[in-house]
Amino acid sequence: METPSHTFSANGKLLLTAEYAVLFGALALALPARRGQRLTVTYGQKDGLLSWTSRELGKDWFSASLRLPGLEVISSSNAALALRLSSLLQTVRQLSPDFLHTSRGAAVITDLDFPRDWGLGTSSTLIHLVSQWSGTDPYALLDATFGGSGYDIACAERNMPILYQREQGRVRIQATRFNPPFLDCLFLGFSGVKKDSGQEVRRVLQHGAFPGSVISRLSEISTLITQCTDLKDFISLMQEHEQLLGIQLGQEVVCMRFPDHDGLVKSLGAWGGDFLLFSWEGPQDELRMRLGRDRVGPVFSLDELLYTHEPTNGV
């Protein structure tokens, strides 16, 4: 008799505009990543146990064994992470009471298509995967666990750019395109630093909402970016975006770290880490060499790593 097995998938993400401000209702331009995470659950493995294995690029990085139905941690490769996993699953059960409320055994394997330190959504893809598995509202699960605006949850189930807004708990998602004539001049470089998104969210929320005028202008920039056809106009809008946020956050804009770069340098997501956006009109090898000297890498063309328009034939 075959053991029932189910596989779920979720895309990673990057936020091009309205980072931080999206927490206070700003309209944001978000692009799903072409890489993500999968979760496969197989029932009937070992009665009374939930076996969990997490893999990164094919290599195990975390494992745990939990007792069912109580979800107590029996053993793990990382005690703190195992407790967080147990807490997550218990929260799922509060939202979906029948979830794993059985002594029937199960084995779960998660597979990441990107390094955890890239900040493409290790946690958000997990939230979405577990939500699919349990039939739970992913936004409710996000609110009850890691918190945040939820744009990453919206990206997890889409293969094209979106304009995302969440005001007073109401989510608005509009499919859009980001496929300008200058797309081949835009690149993503990993800063070499992983930021804790949850910690950044808590820090910003503690300082209170941004002024309404700032939220309105950042929202307007998000829309204008999707309509932009000229690289110089794009750079100008993004530089204005950086200055507005820098003032609100009391932080130096990231371009100050690259005084010799001829073009745009913009923070993406949590400032001070994760990926950076660069414009560049010269040979790609030269850009990679320059950024390598600044310890930035790997470097990708934007549409190599992210969905910039609706896929053809569902691919």
Question: How many whole angstroms separate alpha carbon 297 and alpha carbon 286?
Answer: 13
What number is the average pLDDT over the span 204-217? 87
User: Which pLDDT belongs to residue 101?
Assistant: 82
Residue with tokens 């779920």: 8
Q: Please name the helix (run of DSSP H) or strand (run of DSSP E) that holds residue 170, with its range, or none.
A: strand 170-175
Q: What percent of the chain has pLDDT over 90?
A: 80
Distance (Å, whole) CA 167 – CA 149:
9
| pLDDT above 50: residue 314 | no
Give the confidence band of 277 by pLDDT, cuts at 50, 70, 90: very high
What are the tens digits of pLDDT across the range 234-260? 999 999 999 999 999 988 999 999 999
What does the pLDDT read at residue 270? 83
When pLDDT is cut at 50, 70 and 90, the band that residue 168 belongs to is: confident
Could you report the per-residue pLDDT of 120-135, keeping only the tens digit for each? 999 999 999 999 999 9
Please state, rounded to an integer, the average pLDDT across all residues of the chain.
92
**Pairwise CA distance, residues 269 & 188, whole Å:** 12
pLDDT recorded at residue 4: 82
Helix (H, G, I), strand (E, B) or coil at 279: strand
Query: For residue 115, is pLDDT > 60?
Result: yes
Q: pTM value?
A: 0.92
Nearest-angstrom CA–CA distance, 201 and 203: 5
Cβ neighbours for 71, distance < 8 A, ≥ 6 positions apart: 50, 86, 89, 90, 93, 100
Evaluate if residue 52 carries a pLDDT over 70: yes
Per the CB < 8 A criterion, the answer to whether 31 and 308 are in contact is: yes
Contact indicator for 309, 158 with CB cutoff of 8 Å: no
Q: What is the pLDDT of residues 6-32, one digit of tens each?
A: 999 999 999 999 999 999 999 999 999
Percent of the chain with pLDDT over 70: 97
Rounded average pLDDT over 207-228: 93
Query: Can you give the pLDDT at residue 102?
Result: 75
Please tell me the predicted confidence (pLDDT) of residue 48: 87
The pLDDT of residue 191 is above 80: yes
What SS3 state is found at 62?
Answer: strand
In this model, does residue 315 exceed pLDDT 50?
no
Which position has the higher pLDDT, 271 or 286? Answer: 286
Please check whether residue 175 is in contact with residue 158, taking contact to mean a CB–CB distance below 8 angstroms: yes
The residue type found at 112 is: L
Does residue 118 register a pLDDT over 50?
A: yes
Taking alpha carbons only, the member of 156, 49, 191 closest to residue 108 is 49
Buried b (16+ CB within 10 A) or exposed e, 84-99: ebbebbebbbeebeeb
At 49 the three-state DSSP class reads strand
Per-residue pLDDT tens digits for 57-72: 999 999 999 999 999 9
User: How many Å apart are CA 35 and CA 51, to the nearest integer?
Assistant: 25
Handedness of CA 252, 31, 85, 22 (dihedral sign): positive
pLDDT of residue 70: 92
Structural domains for the chain:
5-174 (3.30.230.10), 178-314 (3.30.70.890)
For residue 3, the model assigns a pLDDT of 64
* 38 has a pLDDT exceeding 60: yes
Give the pairing of strands 106-112 and 49-56: parallel
3-class DSSP state of 128:
helix
Determine the pLDDT at residue 195.
Answer: 72
Residue 2 has pLDDT above 70, yes or no: no
Nearest to 158 by CA among 6, 9, 313: 9
